[in-house]
Structure 1
Amino acid sequence: MKILVCGGSGFLGSHVADYLVDAGHEVTIFDLKKSPFLRKEQSLMIGDILDERAVEKAIKGCDVVYNFAGIADMDHAKKFPVETVKHNIVGNTIILDACVRNSVKRFVFASTIYVYSNRGSFYRSSKQACELIIENYNQIHGLDYTILRYGSLYGPRADVNNGINMMLRQAIADEKIVRHGDGEEIREYIHVFDAARCSVEILSKKYINQYVIIAGNQQMKVKDLLIMIKEIMGNNIEICYKPVDDESCSYDPSIHYEITPYVFNPKLAKRIVSSHYIDLGQGILELLKDIHREHTLKGLETTNLDIK
């Protein structure tokens, strides 16, 4: 099939674009910037999802459209609500409208498990609004969809604001990880390779007009994750817990859930269960090696690693 990946230059979108190519699809990436991960089998169109003409041109002739574009950082979304509404809601609606005009067979939307929560601020509410609008397009125009609610992702190509990436970079650079909170928060971490693979598997007909949860297969307390990182690095790092209201905190803890996101209950979702997942410890080890190699190439000071 001919598939357009909006936001395909980013963390998750670029991996999904790769898995789509591997599955034999013809893939075009539509993004504000050129993908540093662009493969020769992929086409690239530079453009903004708020530009209706550019979106129309990109979608013409496509069978399936994925949308990973928009503001994904919750702290940024909280600070800039108007920008968040424009990119996440208006931008997504522009894509939906172009899908209808061009008879796209299915629209795949990147949502979040935060839609279940009373946390997440404008990021959460923008995703909730998008989900409802997608349903409206299905009811009024017959546009088939699949909505993917992602859990906590980690892995290569993540930016510096990604939770696990941030922890590992602190550990390598400072021999210390500072965590704001008590570490009792629970997450279901999933490697981006697993998330991307599942994001392609949902093209199966059984996921048409379905909500799908893509998250890790086991729950873990953040403090246990930190202990795992410490052990992988040979117990050479310090773990430091600070109050959430400490002035050094770079994010707003009030918009992140602690134990579970499941408070608000919109349309129920299926959980996609894969036959195999990348082990969390192995995934962290490989990511540590990548970050350490990156620091070495840039000539940055790093911890003297004793990686197990």
Structure 2
Amino acid sequence: MKKIVVFGGSGFLGSYVSDELSHRGNKVVVADINESPYLSDGQSFIACDIMDPATIENAVKGADVVYNFAGLANLDESINQPKKTMEQNVLGNINVLEACKNLNLERYVYASSAYAFSDKGSFYGISKLSSEKIIEEYAARFNLPYTIIRYGSLYGERADVNNGMYRLLRAALEDKKIVLKSDGEDIREYIHAHDAARLSADIIETEEYLNQHMVLSGVERLRHKDLLQMVQEILSDDIEITYMEEPREGHYQVTPYSYHPTLARKLVLNSFIELGQGMVSCIKKIHDELEEEKGE
């Protein structure tokens, strides 16, 4: 049994990964500003702010493995808030690294993004690339073993307004109208957060991914136009869709990647949650959420 500390473990992806790690028999400590609504048996919570080194040092005591999902995750928000983005995603990561560098960790797992090695992604992408480079230097200077995971387009029942799929599905249910800030030809490879969590947990069970950069995304390429058609068919409803020809600032069309020398391997699952099935489950969750809001 490993003691694993998950920074940002109360959030969307972090909570799924925490659950998967617990399912595999590990002692999981969720370290976050807010207590997780998904905290399960066998998990413990510790209040922690990645901008507060003292709380970080308290959280990582006795840890064998540390996952870092904490920080600002909304690309659109980062465009107009460069200082906040860099403080949380770069300085926050350094604070966690400082607390970990002398712990003799088995692994430091960092949640990066497909935007890290892209000319897109604005300050969010820059913050992720900076953090990757900083981790590599900590590994070289302090012998800190790491794995960096560049996550692609995630979705799942625990998502919120920071998630693109959530925003589309909520707009379809609530407004019967979706405004897509692109021409619909942009392509994504969606993966359910539950599947992403399984792969994220696999990484620490072998040395194959030690000091490696991994890409974690779905296996099927899908245009936004096709995704919205699926939404219409699932809801059996007349959803008004408006396409804006100007692409969203900071977002990629077909691929996030630009040429950079650090390559990453892609992780895939043999079995995974089919996109349509996953979307139905998300739609039900958002529907229940909207009904609760009406009753308040």
The aligned runs of 1:230-249 (5 Å cut-off) are 230-244=232-246
Kept in 2, the 8 Å contact 1:7–1:68? The answer is yes
SS at match of 1:255: coil
Q: So what's the TM-score if we normalise by structure 2?
A: 0.96
Deviation above 2 Å: which 4+ runs of structure 1?
242-245, 296-300
Kept in 2, the 8 Å contact 1:115–1:266? The answer is no
SS at match of 2:101: helix
Structure 2 gap segments, 5+ residues each: none
Kept in 1, the 8 Å contact 2:22–2:43? The answer is yes
Distance (whole Å) between structure 1 residues aligned to residue 80 and residue 259 of structure 2: 23
Q: 1:257 aligned to 2:259? A: no
Distance (whole Å) between structure 2 residues aligned to residue 44 and residue 161 of structure 1: 23
Match of 2:64 in 1: 63
Match of 1:21 in 2: 22
Pick from 210, 218, 225 the counterpart of residue 223 of structure 1: 225
Displacement after TM superposition at 1:88 (Å):
0.8
Query: Which sits farther off after the overlay, 172-181 or 110-119?
Result: 172-181
CA offsets 1:230-281 (integer angstroms, 9 cap, x no match): 0111143222223438xxxxxxx12000111111324111111211111111
SS at match of 2:147: strand
Letter of the 2:269 counterpart: S
Letter of the 1:71 counterpart: L
The aligned runs of 1:140-179 (5 Å cut-off) are 140-179=141-180
Letter of the 1:264 counterpart: Y
Structure 1 gap segments, 5+ residues each: 246-252, 301-308
Kept in 1, the 8 Å contact 2:72–2:85? The answer is yes
CA offsets 1:108-146 (integer angstroms, 9 cap, x no match): 000001112101111111111111111111111111000
The aligned runs of 1:1-308 (5 Å cut-off) are 1-203=2-204, 204-244=206-246, 253-299=248-294
Q: So what's the TM-score if we normalise by structure 1?
A: 0.92
Letter of the 1:42 counterpart: Q
Q: 1:76 to 1:51 in 2, by over 3 A?
A: same
Query: Which sits farther off after the overlay, 104-113 or 156-165?
Result: 156-165
Task: Count how many residue pairs are aligned between Structure 1 and Structure 2.
Answer: 293
CA offsets 1:140-181 (integer angstroms, 9 cap, x no match): 111100000000001111111311111111111111212122
SS at match of 1:168: helix
Displacement after TM superposition at 1:96 (Å):
0.9
SS at match of 1:44: strand
Kept in 2, the 8 Å contact 1:116–1:266? The answer is no
